[in-house]
Amino acid sequence: MLLTGCASTVSGIASRGASVPEDVPADEFPITGAADNETDRLARNALADLDTFWSQAYPEYFGEEYQPLAGGYFSVDSTAIDESAYPEHGIGCDRAPTDPEEVANNAHYDPNCDVVAYDRALLEQLSAENGPYLGPAVMAHEIGHAMQNRFGYADSAIIVETQADCLAGAFTRWVVDGNAEHVSLRVAELDQVVLGFIGLSDPVGFDPDDQRAHGSGFDRMSGFFAGYEGGVGSCRDEFTEDRLFTATEFTTQDDLDNEGNAPYDEIGGIIGTTLPAFYESVFPGLGEQFTAPEVESFDGTAPACGDMGAEDRDLGYCEADGTVYVDESDLLAPAYEQIGDFAVATAVSLAYAQAARAQLGLSIDDAAAVDSAVCLTGWYAGRFWTGDYQAQDITISPGDVDEAAVFLLTYGQTEGVFPNTDLSGFEMVDAFRDGFLNGGAGCEIGL
């Protein structure tokens, strides 16, 4: 699905809102075609808070007075369109009307009429799958396009779309910090929001230069994080032509047919080549020489070595015998089927990173170790992305980086992978993103 037309707080924006958010009355914030239901209620609340957010953020970051949408807002139920709920020209305005049916399965901002329209059936579906805040996040993305219409669009569609994701991230941080009067969001719910953004990415292998391009899951997620951590200023300044995007096209029919996934029985060889090579290149910079650990799989019952058996883990490094253990039946095979081949590489890389930390005399089982292992896995994926293993005829495929993020969001907090961790999936993905984009400087291994 395409939505047409992103560690600091947003400074200088509204004071903390009410502890219990209050609904906006329909007559105070009209949405043409809206029903008296939960989906339109959430959309209205979000749009009202977005109006407050931008009335203060726009002058601060763009130096001009905020201009509310001139054409208003429209809600459509694609499962039962009521033509009588809309003006005679339909949605939008007389000079650029839109048939309500064209909104089906979408949400969009129309610059011709300065309006936002959305399919509430779509928002209801997204909320059911990814939690109630995803609908407001979609509204924040579309209002982001409205702001772009005021301060200027980039030439590239993928930059336009991920910048709107960034602006949605900035608004989301403002909500999390308690500034919104009508919408609330707990930090624990951010995992589902990020999964939702990944799910709204382009199909794997989609042309990033296409004028309908929105970016890969990692691109969209990374845009959202940029706004969440850096605020509107980051969205304004960081979305230029030299920004890194991971969306790429498939180059062979075989990759197109299998969506870039290597056969399961070949993944072990790929990991066995690339992970030792990665750490053999990293350790000299630390004044050390890397010794590759053994990697052994098991089926269902964890080995007794160290804490593996006592905690019934699916993944881990046992320092007592220098071995990385991974559960084939309960972790690797399901992750491959549900997510893809790079989910398997991500899983093994997490435990492999613990082995590397042990060789450096660093902790392997506390919060710092978990954050470091995820960051190192991001760095490993980034080295894949830059083509470090092409000499071995091993390259990363479109969608692989997305698979790593999805693995962390779905398996990272499970007891079998990282027992007793306080890190959320959202925080793990942030650490992965740091390693992927910035290398090992933030991975806490002494670089």
The percent of residues above 70 in pLDDT, for the chain, comes to 96
Q: CA distances (Å), 239 to each of 158, 173, 199, 216, in order?
A: 10, 19, 22, 15
Q: What is the mean pLDDT of residues 257-263?
A: 86
Report the DSSP pairing between strands 323-327 and 294-298: parallel
pTM: 0.92
Distance CA 420, CA 403 (A): 23
**Cβ(95)–Cβ(71) under 8 Å?**
no
- pLDDT value at position 17? 44
DSSP three-state, residue 393: coil
**Helix ranges (DSSP H) in 332-398:** 333-338, 341-359, 367-385
Quick check: 258 pLDDT over 90? no
Report the DSSP pairing between strands 107-110 and 294-298: unpaired
- Residue 226: which residues within 8 A CB-CB, separation 6 or more? 6, 166, 169, 234, 235, 238
Quick check: 220 pLDDT over 80? yes
**Cβ(54)–Cβ(147) under 8 Å?**
yes
pLDDT in tens, 340-377: 999 999 999 999 999 999 999 999 989 999 999 999 99
Q: How far apart are the first and last CA of the chain?
A: 41
pLDDT in tens, 386-412: 999 988 889 889 999 999 999 999 999
- pLDDT value at position 19? 58
Distance CA 84, CA 377 (A): 55
Bridge partners of residue 108, in order along the sequence: 117
Distance CA 91, CA 101 (A): 10
Q: What is the mean pLDDT of residues 290-305?
A: 95
pLDDT in tens, 3-59: 434 322 233 333 334 457 899 999 999 999 999 999 999 999 999 999 999 999 999
The better pLDDT of the pair 122, 253 is held by 122
**Cβ(270)–Cβ(262) under 8 Å?**
yes
Q: Which of 2-6, 97-101, 111-115, 371-375 has the lowest mean pLDDT?
A: 2-6
Average pLDDT over the chain, rounded to whole? 92
